Structure 1
């Protein structure tokens, strides 16, 4: 049964989600076109910069992202309750940064704020948008589409329909989705190691680890504020690295069949962890999590079944026999 986005993403409470948008028109709109030879790789940087810029304005934290040749993955945490605590001027400043005027009227930011500061209905609408996952994705996708269409000298859709969204119900779901996203270039055989990838959040984390003071700090969002799972930056990097070695089992000498202790702390076996990461888009549909989280979400949605529940039960069984 199809789940309406409004039921999956609560507009009023904090939630963590894996989202993905895919390009249309050609297979390589963000990379090298194999037919014409044109290179559109610079667009990946557009998207990456826009993600970070929007996270600074929305009540959204970016946990992971991967900008690929024809699609984009994000793991995000929305906090609409934080937006409700912002005063009117903060809301207006943030929204005007997200949505500048299409035409230069000569009006300063201060003048725009002064004109709108007494419009309570408008401010309430902007506040709601700044805490919304849908509006965040709209602001990301529309700006990139406009820039790409201008460069191509054409009109029309750049992105394929609405973005796909999966609710991440617990820490294991969040970490497995982050790992799945950070390993996208490795799975696509674009790179041989996770840290070699460009335009991926793992690269940012890896580069930051060159500073010794970052080794044991708690895992932080790439952009925006908000708590993350109770692991350190170095534990997460090890987790991604070892998971990548298991996924790329075709590489001689590259497999180390031991994953960091974080996997056990999440209540998973190594095989269950790998199954959850690899099953992110193939085994689950609208939600990802362990069995209890699935049951709670199904009850909340007043449904008897959610796709992925049977798979979650099989993963639990592998833990029981491990």
Structure 2
């Protein structure tokens, strides 16, 4: 049953979400169309550039992404508190980067004298824009509409470009966040279009690896800065540790080791083999190896709109007055 979007995105429960949008037409979103012989790889660049622009405007950070042939995956964090702390002028400046402004706001910025009613109107507009700037639906609207219009213009056609509204999954605990990020980053390997993380084009893990290699000789003037900033792309949410604020709750090297290990097991030609040299992150998060591998390979179908441990899923279902969520056996 279709649920209202406000029932699926609950920032009081989690700020992390997995988002998926799929192309409706047979013509590929990206890659090579075997039917027409046309290559649409350049559209991947559109998506990545638009994602980064939007995340520089919205209080929504990118944790992971993968741009596939006819769909894409995102793992994002909504930073509501950051948006609430923005000064009014910063809210206006950010909104104006994407949308048309308002005559009354233009007068406010120009320093014109406003009546009490006009001042109230300015305040209401700023708060409306502030709310939208941490709203996932507005973020996805600005992403999907732009790509659809640009692709339709290139194809000289009109009509729907996406098969429907985007799909969202709330990631309710650290294990679901970790497994979902791995599921997204390993998409090209799992589908057989890449053999290694470095070859996984237009994924966040390839971008992180390339950036890490390019910055490998940066002097360690500050250990925390070196780990969480100098060696990580500014456009992606950095890895850190639980004790560090505003970072993903894992170290980048642990995550890289985990993906490298998992990639050897989810590849189509290497399925079923489990090495005894498992990454240490399994022990720290108390994750069962076989269960985790199943999640990484089948995350999209294993859970519905909410992902987490059975205990958390049951508690969240009770909170929302429903009997069960998919993923609870």
Q: TM-score, normalised by structure 2?
A: 0.84
Residue 42 of structure 2 corresponds to 42
Query: d(CA) in 2 for partners of 1:218 and 1:224?
Result: 9
Structure 1 residue corresponding to 2:286, chosen from 267, 272, 287: 267
Deviates more, 1:240-249 or 1:220-229: 220-229
Deviates more, 1:44-53 or 1:299-308: 299-308
Residue 99 of structure 2 corresponds to 99
Query: d(CA) in 2 for partners of 1:27 and 1:171?
Result: 37
Q: CA deviation at 1:218?
A: 4.5
Q: CA deviation at 1:201?
A: 0.2
Correspondence 1:208 to 2:214: no
* Cα deviations by residue, 1:179-226 (Å, 9 ceiling, x for unpaired): 000011111111111211111101111112213359972597853687
Residue 317 of structure 1 corresponds to none
Correspondence 1:217 to 2:220: no
Unaligned runs of at least 5 residues, structure 2: 239-244
Secondary structure (helix, strand or coil) at the match of 2:299 reads: coil
Correspondence 1:124 to 2:120: no
Residue 253 of structure 2 corresponds to 234
1:1-322 equivalence runs, <5 A? 2-10=2-10, 15-100=15-100, 113-114=109-110, 118=119, 119-210=122-213, 211-212=215-216, 217-218=227-228, 222-223=235-236, 227-248=246-267, 250-251=269-270, 256-310=275-329
CA RMSD of aligned residues (A): 2.8
User: Contact conserved, 1:218 with 1:231, CA < 8 A, in 2?
Assistant: no
Q: TM-score, normalised by structure 1?
A: 0.85
User: Contact conserved, 2:170 with 2:305, CA < 8 A, in 1?
Assistant: yes
Unaligned runs of at least 5 residues, structure 1: 102-106, 311-322
* Cα deviations by residue, 1:259-292 (Å, 9 ceiling, x for unpaired): 3111222211211110121231111111111122
Query: d(CA) in 2 for partners of 1:112 and 1:93?
Result: 13
Query: d(CA) in 1 for partners of 2:303 and 2:268?
Result: 23
Alignment size in residue pairs: 303
